[in-house]
Structure 1
Amino acid sequence: MNKSKKTAVYARVSTREQAEQGFNLREQVRTVKSYISVFQSDYSNEIEVYVDDGYSAKNLNRKEMNRLIKDIKNGEIAKVVIHNLDRLTRRVKDLIRIIELFDEHDVELVSIKEKVETKTAMGRFFIMIIILIAQWEQETNSERTKRGLDQSATEGNYAKGRLAPFGYKKIDNRLTIDYNQSKIVKAIFMMYVNDRRSMEYIAHFLNSTSSNNRRWDMDKVRTILTNSIYYGNFNNNRVNIDGHSPSIIDEKDFRTAQLLLIVETLEKSTHIYLKVCVIVLQLEKD
C-alpha cells in the first residue's frame, strides 16, 4: 500500500438516529480509530476524518462525503474505514457507485461491524448481499408503516403527527370542524363555484379582510379547493374513504370546483384541441 496516501475514517449520523438510537459521532470515530490501530498493519498512514452530522443515507449528496469522493479522485486516499455499511449508504445503487469509484482509484473499503473488506471478490459480494438485505428490510418496514396508517384512516383517524387541514381541529387524532376557519373554507368555495371569482381575486379578498390573520395567495386557495377532506373524503394513492371526517361543503360543490379548475387550466393553453375540450367541459358545467 502506498504510504504517502491517507487512511480515511468516515462517520455519519442523522438527527433522527441521534435522538432515537443514540448514535454518537465521536464514538464512531473513536471505535474506528481503535480498530485501525489494533487490526490494520499499515495504521501508520496519516488518518483523515470525514464526519457528516445530521445527514441521512438517502443519497450521497453530503458535505463530507463529497469531500471524501473528491480526495479519492485526487489520489489522496488508500483506504476507507467505517463503523458499518449504512454509514455510507442504504441504497444499492449508491453502494455500487461507491465500490466502482473505489475500484477505479485502488481504494480499499473496510467495514468493522460486518467484518468485510473490498480487497477480495468475496468481500465485495458480501457487501452487496448485506445492503440488499438492509434495503429489503427498510422497504418492508415502510410498507408495514403505510399499511398501519391506512388501517388507522379506515377507522376515522387522521395521521398522527400530521397537522389538521385548515378548517379543522384534531382531537384524539380525529378531525373536528373549526367553526371560524370553516367559514373561510365555505367562503372560498362559494366565491369560486357560485360567484366564479378567480383564485387571485379570492386571495386578495381574504387578505383585505385579514381572514384568520393568515397571508393568503393563489397556492393556498388552490390547496383548499383541491382537498377532498372538505366534503368528508380522505384519500391518498392507496385508499379512498368516504365519510372519513365531518364535511364542511357539499360534494357537488367540490366536484364543480375541480371541473372549473380544469377549465381554467385548459383556457390558458394555446393548443386548439385543448380549446375544444374547454367547450365540451363548459357544456358539462352548464
Structure 2
Amino acid sequence: MENREKRDKNAPLWCAIYTRKSTDENLNSDFTSLDSQREYCQSFIKSREGEGWGIYPEAYNDPGFSGGNMDRPALRRLLADAKQKKFQAVVCYKYDRLSRNTKDFLHVLDIFDKHGVAFVSVTQPIDTTSSVGRLMRSILMDFAQFEREMISERTRDKMAAMVRKGKRPGGHPILGYDIDKERKRLSVNREEANVACEMFDLYLRMRSLYATAKTLNGRGYRMKEWTASNGNRKGGGKFNRGNLWYLLINPIYIGKIAYQGQMFQGEHEGIVSEEVFNAVQGLLNANGKGRRHREVEKIKHAYLLRGLVRCASCGHAMTPHGVFKKRRSQRFFYYRCVSVSKGDKNSCTVRSVPARALEDFVLRRLGLLGDNPELIGNIVNATRESCDQQLPSKRQQKSLLTADLGRAENEARNIVRILGEQGPDAPRRQFYESRLDELAAKKQEIEVAVNVLEKEIVHLECQQVDADLVQHSIRNFVTVIGKLETKEQRELLSLLVKEVTLDAVKSNVQISLKPLPKIWGDLDHLEGRFVYCQRPLPD
C-alpha cells in the first residue's frame, strides 16, 4: 500500500541523488562515472525547479559496488534517510543503479512507497508517482536481470577459454603448490610436494582413506595453509577422509586442470606420475564410489544406442528391453531383436545383447578415431572454418550496434543539457521528453542485442580449438560423453552414428557413420570383433 502524503505545493520537493558504479565497469567511461551520473541527475532536477524540485545536499555515492546485492554503504544510508523522510524523491541516472536484481529493486521501491518517497530515472520513463511508471519499472528491471545473467554467462565462457589455454581458473592453492602472483600460475612448493607424493604412496599401500589420514596426521603433516585476500590465515587443519579424498582426485598433481567435467593440460608442473595417479583413482573407485554409482544404475539405464542398433541375422531393429530378476532383486538391460519381442523366439539367432557391453564397445571404437591424424585435421579445419565464417559478421554487427548506442547516448545527453539550461518553459519541451523516452527504449534494446552478440562471439572464440585438444577429447570419448546429460549423450551419438549392426554369428559389430565428408573423409564405417557373455549380466 502506497503512503503518499499530500505535499504543500509551495514546499520544495527535495530530491536525493544516488549513484553507483561496479568494479567491472569501465572507470574512464563518462556514462559510468559517478560524476557524470550526478551531473545528469542535477540537470534533470534543475529542469523541474519550476515544479518545486530541489537537490538534497547529501551525496549518496557507491563507488566500486556491484548492483547484484544490497550490501552497499551509501544505499543503506539512503534507505535509512528515506524512512526518516529527509527527502521526497530519489533520482538515479538509470534504474539499475539501484539494483540489477529484480527482487531487490522492487523491495527498495516498496520501502520508498511506504514512506512517501518517489523514484525517478533520468534516462528512462520511470516515475513511481504514476501507475504507468510503476509498470515500466517492472518491465525494464526484467531486462536488467537478463543483462546480469548474460554477463555471468560471458564470465563463465571466458574462464573456460582460460582453462583451455592451461591457465588456472582461480581458487586457493592446494598442498604442494604456491601461487606465483607475478606470473599468475601455480609454482611447486618442494617441501609440500614431498608430502603430497607421500600421501599418494601411503594410500596405495594402505588402501584406506581413514588409515592414510591418520598416518599423515601422526607424522605431523597438515593441510595447506595460505593467506586470504583479507590477510587472514586459512587452512592448516588435520587430514580427514573428506579433504584427503579431494586431494587424491585432483588432477592438478599430474599437471592438468579439470573444469566443468573436462580435463586440460595446465601451465604448471605436475608432481605425481600419471601411473600413480591413475592407480589411486582405480582404487578409490573400487573402494566405494564406483559401487554406489553402479547401485544407482541398476535402477535405470539410458540406452544410448536407442534407435541405432540392427540385427545382421534377420535385419530387424534391436530395441531396449529390461528384465527384473526377482530372486536376485536386480534389473538387467538389453537390446533385443524386434522379431523376438513379437513372440517368435526362434526367428533370430541373436535374440538379445547386454546393453552396457554393446554401448561400451561402440564408445571405445569411436575413441580410437583419436589416433587418425587425417580425421583430427578435418575436425580442426571444419571447426575453424565455421568460426571464421561467423566471427566477422558477428563482430561487424556488434560494431554497428555500438555506434548506434553511442549516438543514442550522445543525443540523450544533449537533450538533458538543453532541458536543464532552458528550464520548465523550454520550447518543444514535450517533444524533448518524448524523444528521451524513445532513446531510453532504444538504448535498452541495443544493449540487450550487444550483450547477446558478445556472448555469441566469446562462444565462437572458445571453439578455436587445436589438434592436441581434439585428439585428447576423442581418445577420451568415453569419459567426455559420460559428463553429458542422457539426452545430450544420445543426441551426440545420433549425430555421428548412422547405424550399429550386430552379427552374432561372426562376433562382429559394424558402426556405420553419418555422411560427414568434411570430417570423416573417405571413412564411412568402423568395425571390430565383439565378444560378450551369453549369460545375462546386471547393468
State TM-score, norm by structure 1: 0.68
| Residues 88 and 260 (structure 1), Cα distance of their counterparts in 2 relative to 1, 3 Å cut | farther
Of 230, 235, 238 in structure 1, the residue corresponding to residue 258 of structure 2 is 235
Of 56, 79, 98 in structure 2, the residue corresponding to residue 88 of structure 1 is 98
Of 104, 108, 115 in structure 2, the residue corresponding to residue 98 of structure 1 is 108
Alignment of 1:16 with 2:38, yes or no, is: no
Contact in 1 for aligned 2:18/2:59 (Cα 8 Å): yes
Q: 1:93, CA displacement in angstroms? A: 0.6
CA distance in 2, matches of 1:199, 1:218: 14
Q: 1:37, CA displacement in angstroms? A: 1.0
| Residues 20 and 240 (structure 1), Cα distance of their counterparts in 2 relative to 1, 3 Å cut | farther
Greater gyration radius = 2
Contact in 2 for aligned 1:90/1:135 (Cα 8 Å): yes
CA distance in 1, matches of 2:156, 2:57: 43
Q: In structure 1, what is the equivalent of residue 119 of structure 2?
A: 109
Q: In structure 1, what is the equivalent of residue 14 of structure 2?
A: 6
String of CA shifts for 1:24-54, please: whole Å, max 9, x gaps: 3233223312221113522246443212222
Alignment of 1:253 with 2:317, yes or no, is: no
CA distance in 1, matches of 2:16, 2:196: 57
Q: In structure 1, what is the equivalent of residue 80 of structure 2?
A: 70
| Residues 74 and 228 (structure 1), Cα distance of their counterparts in 2 relative to 1, 3 Å cut | same
Q: In structure 2, what is the equivalent of residue 132 of structure 1?
A: 142
String of CA shifts for 1:169-212, please: whole Å, max 9, x gaps: 89xx99898483644431343456647243872794479xxxxx
Q: 1:15, CA displacement in angstroms? A: 3.2
Contact in 1 for aligned 2:41/2:91 (Cα 8 Å): yes
| Residues 68 and 169 (structure 1), Cα distance of their counterparts in 2 relative to 1, 3 Å cut | closer
Q: AA paired with 1:127?
A: R
CA distance in 2, matches of 1:64, 1:261: 52
* 1:51 alignment partner, SS class: strand
Q: In structure 1, what is the equivalent of residue 154 of structure 2?
A: 144
Alignment of 1:198 with 2:214, yes or no, is: yes
CA distance in 2, matches of 1:11, 1:143: 26
Contact in 1 for aligned 2:13/2:53 (Cα 8 Å): no
Contact in 1 for aligned 2:216/2:239 (Cα 8 Å): no
Q: In structure 2, what is the equivalent of residue 37 of structure 1?
A: 46
Contact in 1 for aligned 2:15/2:45 (Cα 8 Å): no
CA distance in 2, matches of 1:217, 1:192: 20
CA distance in 2, matches of 1:125, 1:53: 29
Alignment of 1:50 with 2:60, yes or no, is: yes
Q: Which has the higher contact order (CA 8 A, sep 6+)?
A: 2
Q: In structure 2, what is the equivalent of residue 186 of structure 1?
A: 197
Contact in 1 for aligned 2:14/2:53 (Cα 8 Å): no
Q: In structure 2, what is the equivalent of residue 27 of structure 1?
A: 36
String of CA shifts for 1:210-267, please: whole Å, max 9, x gaps: xxxx99712799474463332456434x3332x64475251333565799999xxxxx
* 1:80 alignment partner, SS class: strand
User: For structure 1, which runs of at least 5 residues remain unmatched after alignment?
Assistant: 208-213, 263-286
CA distance in 2, matches of 1:127, 1:215: 44
Q: AA paired with 1:76?
A: K
Q: How many residues align?
A: 251
Q: In structure 1, what is the equivalent of residue 382 of structure 2?
A: none
CA distance in 1, matches of 2:24, 2:157: 22
* 2:166 alignment partner, SS class: coil
User: For structure 2, which runs of at least 5 residues remain unmatched after alignment?
Assistant: 1-6, 207-211, 224-232, 290-539
CA distance in 1, matches of 2:43, 2:145: 29
Of 51, 54, 60 in structure 1, the residue corresponding to residue 70 of structure 2 is 60
CA distance in 1, matches of 2:123, 2:215: 57
* 1:19 alignment partner, SS class: coil
How well do the aligned residues superpose, as a CA RMSD in angstroms? Answer: 4.0
Q: In structure 1, what is the equivalent of residue 236 of structure 2?
A: 217
